[in-house]
Amino acid sequence: TGSGNSGCLLGWSRSGRGERRVERDLGCSRRLRFGKLHSGRSSAAKEVEKFKRLIRDPETVQHLDRHSDSKQGKYLNWDAVFRFLQKYVQKETECLRTAKAGVSASTQATRQKKMQEISSLVKYFIKCANKRAPRLKCQELLNYIMDTVKDSFNGTVYGADCSNILLKDILSVRKYWCEITQQQWLGMFRSLLFLNFFCEMKCH
């Protein structure tokens, strides 16, 4: 899929030179979404670093903040980029899950480092998105946590960081309290129990 087609698939709108520049630069998030980072480790690492620089860029931040606040789905916003990021995490995690067993200690250490990098990238993104105000939808964050703990492998790998996100980036935000239903509160309580279980398994 070419970059032009990717833009059509995502339904992005463009208005003004600044908007076009931001949308063009956010092409790296399209590569996250369509799995193109997966072709090589070195190129993937460079794209991830580019992505991190991009979500710190003042013009990009202003663009994403404005369109997150406007609630107009036709523009790229923080929630949309978060969904692209989750697709990337899913692809990378699946490769780690299906990787060959019985490898050397150095290879195993490399895999562990990759898992930490993936989890750190998610936490970093959430911090950037919500730094000025809670602009990510509470439901998007909850879905990420719930989907992660449903899977034993994901829970073991990312459990500690998910617990951190739940406590520091969701439950500590007053705006989110009113958006959480009673059923979701119960779900979060169960998630915390699962996360505690996964963390204990990892420690042992």
Query: Tens of pLDDT along 178-204?
Result: 888 888 888 777 777 766 665 565 555
Q: What is the mean pLDDT of the chain?
A: 76
Torsion of CA 37, 39, 40, 42, to 10 degrees: -30
User: What's CA 166's distance to the chain center, in Å?
Assistant: 14
Query: Tens of pLDDT along 11-30?
Result: 333 344 445 555 555 654 55
Q: What is the DSSP letter of 171?
A: T
d(CA 56, CA 125): 9
Query: Tens of pLDDT along 142-159?
Result: 999 888 888 888 888 888
d(CA 190, CA 184): 10
User: What's CA 105's distance to the chain center, in Å?
Assistant: 28
Whether the pLDDT of residue 127 is over 90: the answer is yes
The domain locations on the chain are 1-136, 137-204
Name the nearest CA neighbour of 129 among 119, 118, 138.
138
Give the phi and the psi of residue 104 in degrees, each rounded to 5.
-70, 165
Asked if 21 and 30 count as a contact pair (C-beta separation under 8 A), the reply is: no
Give me the amino acid identity at 63: H
Whether the pLDDT of residue 109 is over 90: the answer is no
The pLDDT value recorded for residue 99 is 80
The pLDDT value recorded for residue 123 is 94
Asked if 10 and 36 count as a contact pair (C-beta separation under 8 A), the reply is: no
Provide the pLDDT confidence category of residue 79 given band limits of 50, 70 and 90.
very high
Residue 178: C-alpha distances to residues 148, 170, 174, 175 (Å): 23, 11, 8, 6
Q: Rounded to two decimals, what is the model's pTM?
A: 0.76
Phi-psi bin for 12: left (phi > 0), alpha (psi -120 to 50), beta? beta
- Residue matched to tokens 């996964």: 198
Provide the pLDDT confidence category of residue 165 given band limits of 50, 70 and 90.
very high
d(CA 7, CA 80): 13
- The more confident residue out of 31 and 190 is 190
Across 160-176, average pLDDT = 90
Residue 59: C-alpha distances to residues 55, 65, 151 (Å): 9, 10, 37
Asked if 170 and 141 count as a contact pair (C-beta separation under 8 A), the reply is: yes
